[in-house]
Amino acid sequence: MNTPLIEPIYSPSDEPMRVAVFLSGSGTSFMAMHEAGERLRASGVKPRAEISAVFTNVPGCGGALKAAGLGIPVLSLSSKIFFSSLGRNPDDDEMRDYYDAAALAMIEEIRRPDLIVLAGYRRRPGAMLLGRYRNRVINLYPGDITKDYLVRGVDASVQAMRAGEGSIKCTVYLERERERFGPAIVQSEPISLAGYKEQDAGAVSELIRSRGEWKIYPYAVYNLIAGGRVGIDKNDNLYLDGRMLGKEGFQYGG
C-alpha cells in the first residue's frame, strides 16, 4: 500500500509564521487572534505566528482602526470605489482577480504572508489569490459545514434549529474556489441551543462567537498550522500530526 504524499500547509522555521488578516467589519475575530498571541507572550511562550499585516476592502472600518492602533500595518483598497470607477460588476470573475492582485501587491510589498486569514472579510477571493496561496487561505463558518441542510442567506443557528439540532458547532476550513466550503481543519465544542428559538438568532450568534469562533480560530493558527501539524494530500484529505482527519476536522476540546 502506497503511503500518501502529505504536504504541510506550513513548515515552521526560526521566524514566526507571517499572517495576513483580511477583514471588512468590526474586527472581533482579528482581535481574538491578536489577544491569543498576547496571552502566549504574557505566559512566557513565544508565539509561533504573528499578524504581520491587515487588509481591508472597507477603509476606516472598525477592524482596520483597531489594527492601526496596535501598530499593525493596515492596507486598504475600497472595493466599492474600485469596481464603481471601472464600471464593472464586483462579482465579475476577471475583475475579482484584478482586485485581488492589487490587494496582494500592497500586502506583498510589506512582506509575503505564509497564511491568509479571512476574518469577517465580505468578499469572496478569486482564482488568482487562491491559486497563489493554495492551501494557505482559511475561513470560518458559524456552523457545522458537514451538514447537508445548509443554505445561503439564513443564519447557521436558525438552520440548525429547523433541522432539529440540539447544539451547533462552528468550523475553520480551507477556502476553495467555486466551493462553498473546503476541507474542515477544526470544529468547536458543541454549543447548546436548548431554550433558544429562531428569533434568538442574534443572541445565539454572540454565543457561537464567544464559545466557539474566538477559541478555534486562534487555535487553528497558533497551535495547529503554525506548529507545522496540519498537512494535506492530493485528494484534499487533511492530516494532523500525520494522521488523517475525518470530514469534521479536529474536534477542539477547550
222 C-beta neighbours (distance < 10 Å), count? 23
Helices (H) and strands (E) in the chain, counts: 8, 14
Q: What is the pLDDT of residue 198?
A: 95
H/E element holding 173?
Answer: strand 171-174
Helix (H) or strand (E) holding 130: helix 127-132
Cβ neighbours around 92 below 10 Å, total: 14
Which residues in the chain show pLDDT less than 70? 1-2, 254
Reported as a single tens digit per residue, the pLDDT across 84-134 is 998 888 888 899 999 999 999 999 999 899 999 999 999 999 999 999 999
Question: pTM score, two decimals?
Answer: 0.96
Cell numbers 487561505 correspond to 137
Assigned domain for 136 exists: yes
H or E segment at 188? Answer: none
247 within some domain: no
On whether residue 245 sits in a domain, the answer given is no
User: Given this model, what pLDDT does residue 1 score?
Assistant: 55
Domain count, the chain: 1
Measured CA to CA, the distance from residue 167 to residue 65 in angstroms comes to 35
* DSSP at 219: I
pLDDT for res 104:
97
121 found inside a domain: yes
* CATH value at residue 156: 3.40.50.170
Position 88 in a domain: yes
| Residue-number span of the structural domain to which 71 is assigned | 7-229
Cell of 18: 507571517
